[in-house]
Chain A
Amino acid sequence: MHIPDGFLSTPVWTSTAAIAAVGVALAIKKTKLNDDASKIPLIGVTTAFIFAAQMINFPVAGATSGHLAGGLLAAILFGPWMATLIMTAVIGIQSLFFQDGGITALGANILNVGIIAPWFGYFLYRLIKNVKSQKLKLTGIFIAGWISMILAAAAVALQLYFSGLVPLGLAMKAMVTWHSLIGIGEGIITVVVIRYLMVRENHLIPASGGIKHG
């Protein structure tokens, strides 16, 4: 759901850019990349994986298509601050090099996919993080991923409305409906990857969840 150039009004793209800039600046301050030198290879591969997965659109209901956003995945692996940085890198690269997502919409796209989705998803994940049952935990991750996608879609609908582009009710209903289908993919892929990286063995990622993050 990368917003292209031309959809957002100047007040909306400038204010979302300002919010995103503050978020990213805080994330840079909070993550101590240097302290986690051993995690750098995994952070690199995760960033590349999210980029690759975002290229793979799967068809939905014959009318639309969706792909992994990846914010919750990154947040579970490295904490939400690092997730914001990883998503900012992916969204920035897509916009600058591949014209996927507008330059003026960069801030809004980072806010929706790089801040709102991973942070709200991570908050939901925290609620079930320590449950003993592996099944329950993975179900929780699925739901958190699903909701993270819907919330990002709702944020896009709001921004399009504030830009004077679309009526709020119609846009909200359409964005939330389609992304509640696409979000199923988000939930499934997040569960599969987390299950592989976290559950099968426990030395790559501590079972307590994530690396040290401030």
Chain B
Amino acid sequence: MDKRLGVFLLVTIILAVIVSPFASGLPDGLERVAIDLGVMENEAEPLFEVIPDYSLTFIENEWISTSLSGLIGLLICLGAVYLAWKTVHVLKGKKKIQSGT
């Protein structure tokens, strides 16, 4: 593996797993504006919850909960790209067989 790709991946893992619990809890830009304009209460409850707000509800320790959520998120991202690539690969392969090339 290219060294820089490795470093990039390492930084990514460090951000998601180690740094993420230290993220600022202040309202983000849109939330700040929504609060100031008095429309924050319009926010609807999500239709369903998987890992709401990057916390695993069955883990009490907030840090571990956020860290693990980050790690799960990374795996989903990598998995999604791999699946997308595989899908394209398979579809292209089929096309080639059909067109006889």
* Of the residues B19, B69, B88, contact of A56 by C-beta under 8 Å: B19
Q: Are A102 and B46 in contact (CB under 8 A)?
A: yes
Are A3 and B77 also in contact (CB < 8 A) when A33-B88, A99-B52, A196-B4 are?
Answer: no
* Of A63-71, A118-126, A130-138, A140-148, the one touching chain B: A63-71
Q: How many A-B residue pairs have CB under 8 A?
A: 190
Chain B interface main SS type: helix
Interface residues of A in 1-39 (CB under 8 A from B): 1-7, 32-34, 37
- Chain A interface residue count: which class? 35 or more
Contacts A/B (CB < 8 Å), 16 sampled: A2-B28, A47-B80, A49-B8, A51-B73, A55-B73, A57-B28, A93-B76, A93-B80, A94-B73, A99-B46, A99-B51, A160-B39, A166-B37, A174-B36, A179-B29, A196-B4
- What is the interface of chain A, defined by CB distance below 8 A to chain B? 1-7, 32-34, 37, 40-49, 51-53, 55-60, 62-67, 85, 89-90, 93-94, 96-100, 102-103, 153, 156-157, 160, 165-166, 170-171, 174-175, 178-179, 182, 196-197, 200-201, 203-204
